[in-house]
């Protein structure tokens, strides 16, 4: 037997000699047991009461601000420590005011944003809730800030061209991230800028210039007369571009210039671009093209104006979408492509596979204004550019208008009457416009592809109220690529 046990036995023997003492010890143990139980019961009672009076509290939150600024329909999930009752619209709010829907299931409150959220904005959600079991009320409050995205512009100056980085909020401005003697165009692909420059012989070269600490990559192309329409799909790690190159005619015929679309997969270790082909693997001459937003699929237009939906990495055949004059872009947040036809326009829904003509309200504007680019917000509302040409002074002035079912309003007019709008586009979240404005002193730079002007600025405009937010040096913002 161990020492401990022996000690215990001796102690017990000693106690046996004193029955009264042992009796006292037993009674003390009983009292101790009762006291411990009593303390625990009282504590449990007090805690029960406190729990019953305490309303639901926030236990965790799930939200991805990065995707919330990119796509509509994103969710924010508030989880409470106990299931809560249904919440009416009067019981919750979000500031700044945003179109959203709140649903409750158990201890999860799911807020679905109807639109993409704004950049660099602090959102606060407040919900008055009541516990299902206790009815005790509480206030849930959660604040988060959306990212401040970076924007790029191309600045062409005498002797050197630069790609500038800005932050949307203005914290970063005119930071040079790449420069070369001549930059034709560029596209943002994740942590890379795909840039078309020219070598010493004037041949266009496509390279991937790193924005982070990574090696630069030269994208192999056939001997190119021109590289144009460079676009990127960051979600799919794909870069696409049209190469104009000579193709020898068969049977000793004259060589012709072919426009071939290539896709470069950044995640493909081989680094070999893929030629986009037509039905049956036949060569496809591409006039214009665009990625389907958020996917690796693309829509390409042939010289016969036939459109094809193509999965460049897959084995499926291209899907003909019919003949249309022009690609006008996707309705934000959808796979609905607006195209121009001879007698108007159509919307091609690439998910549903439908083709619906669109009937737009005729803008109530001076018919002498020359129409320009159209950008659609949805099936019924669109931005459109109008130019007034003064033949006496040979000057052009521009203004941007917005037309929907309610009528037409002017959205933007350059500060100088003789300035004109070169191009414009919507931000990825469709809440801002980037408008390229050429100052009166701007002169053409005579680039053969993607020509521009000196003295060009990009104005950022709030779509909701038309307020001017910032001006950036350069043109060709990456939102428009």
Partner 1 sequence: MGVIVGLLLLATLVTVRVTTAELPTEALSDAAKDFFTLSISVFIESLPFVFLGVVLSVLVQVWVPASVFDRLLPRTPVLRRVAMSLLGVFLPVCECGNVPLARGLIVRGLTVSESLTFLMAAPILNPVTIITTYQAFGWDHGILAGRIVGGFVVANLIGWMFSRHPRQHELLTPKFEASCQVAHTEHTTRSRVRRSVLAFAEETSTMLPALVVGCAIAGAIQVGVSRDIMLALGSDPVWSVLALMALAFVVSICSNVDAFFVLAFGALFMPGAIVAFLVFGAMIDIKMLALLRTTFTTGTLVRLTAIVALCSLVLGLGVNLIA
Residue 248 binds to partner 1 (criterion: CB under 8 A): no
Total of residues contacting partner 1 (CB under 8 A): 39
First-to-last alpha carbon distance for the chain, in angstroms, is 87
- Could you give the CA distance from residue 206 to residue 126 in angstroms, rounded to a whole number? 50
Q: Say whether residue 220 binds partner 1 (CB under 8 A).
A: no
Q: Is 47 one of the binding residues for partner 1 (CB under 8 A)?
A: yes
Single out the residue of 68, 116, 119, 131 in contact with partner 1 (rule: CB under 8 A): 131
Give the Cα separation of 274 and 32 in Å (integer): 82
The burial of 199, by beta-carbon neighbours within 10 Å (0-12 exposed, 13-18 middle, 19 or more buried), is given as exposed
Give the C-alpha separation, 470 to 271, whole Å.
39
CB of 52 or CB of 176, closer to partner 1: 52
CB atoms within 10 A of CB 120: 15
Chosen residue from 73, 96, 106, 249 binding partner 1 by CB under 8 A: 106
Interface with partner 1, residue 134, by CB under 8 A: yes
Of positions 87, 132, 217, 389, contacts partner 1 by CB under 8 A: 132
Provide the minimum distance between the beta carbon of 7 and partner 1 in the complex, in angstroms, as a whole number.
Answer: 9
Stretch that binds partner 1, among 35-43, 331-339, 396-404, 424-432 (CB under 8 A): 35-43
Among 10, 19, 20, 50, binds partner 1 (CB under 8 A): 50
Query: For partner 1, which residue of 1, 212, 351, 368 counts as binding (CB under 8 A)?
Result: 1
The torsion defined by the Cα of 282, 186, 158 and 397, in degrees rounded to 10, comes to 90
Nearest to 421 by CA among 431, 408, 430, 410: 410
54 binds partner 1 (CB under 8 A): yes
Q: Which of 58, 61, 72, 83 binds partner 1 (CB under 8 A)?
A: 83
Which residue's entry shows tokens 């017990």? 12
For residue 385, list its beta bridge partners. Answer: 400
**Residues 14-33 contacting partner 1, CB under 8 A:** 15, 22, 25-26, 28-29, 32-33
- Write down the least CB distance from residue 109 to partner 1, Å: 13
User: 339 vs 187, 293, 323, 375, 410, CA distance in Å?
Assistant: 23, 15, 10, 11, 24
Asked whether position 12 contacts partner 1 by CB under 8 A, the answer is yes
Residue nearer to partner 1 on the CB measure, 28 or 406: 28
- Of the candidates 148, 231, 168, 144, the residue with the CA atom closest to the CA atom of residue 194: 231
Nearest CB to partner 1, comparing residues 135 and 440: 135
Q: Figure out which of the listed residues 51, 355, 381, 395 binds partner 1, where binding follows CB under 8 A.
A: 51
Q: In what order do the strands lie in the sheet with 468-473?
A: 420-426, 432-438, 456-462, 468-473
Interface positions with partner 1 (CB under 8 A)? 1-5, 8, 12, 15, 22, 25-26, 28-29, 32-33, 36-37, 40-41, 43-44, 47-48, 50-52, 54, 59-60, 81-83, 106-108, 131-134
């Amino acid at each position: 037997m161990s020492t401990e046990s022996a000690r215990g036995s001796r102690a017990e023997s000693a106690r046996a000699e004193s029955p009264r003492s042992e009796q006292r010890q037993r009674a003390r143990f009983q009292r101790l047991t009762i006291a411990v139980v009593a303390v625990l019961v009282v504590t449990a009672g007090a805690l029960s009461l406190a729990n019953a009076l305490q309303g639901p509290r926030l236990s965790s939150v799930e939200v991805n601000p990065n995707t919330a600024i990119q796509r509509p329909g994103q969710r924010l999930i508030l989880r409470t420590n106990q299931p809560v009752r249904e919440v009416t619209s009067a019981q919750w709010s979000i500031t700044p005011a945003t179109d959203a829907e709140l649903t409750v299931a158990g201890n999860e409150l799911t807020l679905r944003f109807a639109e993409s959220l704004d950049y660099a904005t602090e959102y606060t959600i407040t919900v008055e809730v009541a516990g299902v079991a206790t009815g005790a009320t509480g206030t849930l409050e959660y604040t988060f800030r959306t990212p401040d995205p970076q924007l790029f512009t191309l600045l062409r100056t005498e002797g050197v061209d630069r790609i500038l980085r800005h932050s949307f909020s203005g914290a970063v401005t005119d930071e040079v991230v790449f420069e070369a003697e001549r930059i034709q165009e560029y596209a943002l692909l994740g942590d890379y800028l795909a840039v078309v420059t020219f070598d010493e012989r004037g041949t266009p070269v496509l390279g991937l210039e790193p924005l982070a600490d990574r090696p630069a990559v030269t994208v192999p192309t056939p001997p190119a007369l021109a590289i144009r329409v460079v676009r990127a799909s960051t979600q799919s790690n794909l870069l696409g571009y049209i190469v104009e190159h000579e193709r020898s005619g068969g049977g000793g015929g004259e060589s012709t210039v072919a426009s071939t679309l290539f896709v470069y997969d950044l995640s493909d270790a081989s680094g070999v671009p893929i030629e986009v082909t037509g039905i049956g693997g036949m060569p496809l001459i591409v006039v214009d093209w665009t990625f389907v937003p958020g996917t690796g699929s693309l829509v390409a237009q042939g010289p016969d104006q036939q459109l094809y939906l193509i999965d460049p990495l897959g084995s499926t055949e291209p899907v003909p979408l019919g003949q249309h004059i022009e690609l006008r872009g996707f309705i934000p947040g959808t796979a609905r492509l607006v195209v121009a036809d001879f007698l108007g326009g159509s919307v091609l829904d690439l998910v549903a596979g439908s083709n619906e003509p669109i009937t737009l309200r005729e803008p109530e504007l001076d018919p002498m204004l020359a129409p320009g680019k159209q950008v659609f917000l949805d099936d019924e509302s669109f931005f459109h550019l109008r130019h007034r040409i003064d033949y006496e002074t040979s000057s052009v002035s521009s203004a941007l208008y917005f037309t929907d079912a309610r009528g037409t309003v002017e959205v933007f007019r350059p500060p100088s009457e003789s300035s004109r709008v070169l191009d414009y586009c919507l931000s990825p979240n469709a809440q801002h416009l980037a408008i390229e404005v050429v100052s009166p002193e701007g002169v053409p730079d005579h680039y053969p592809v993607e020509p521009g002007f000196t003295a060009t600025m990009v104005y950022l405009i709030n779509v909701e109220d038309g307020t001017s937010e910032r001006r950036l040096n350069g043109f060709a913002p990456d939102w428009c690529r």
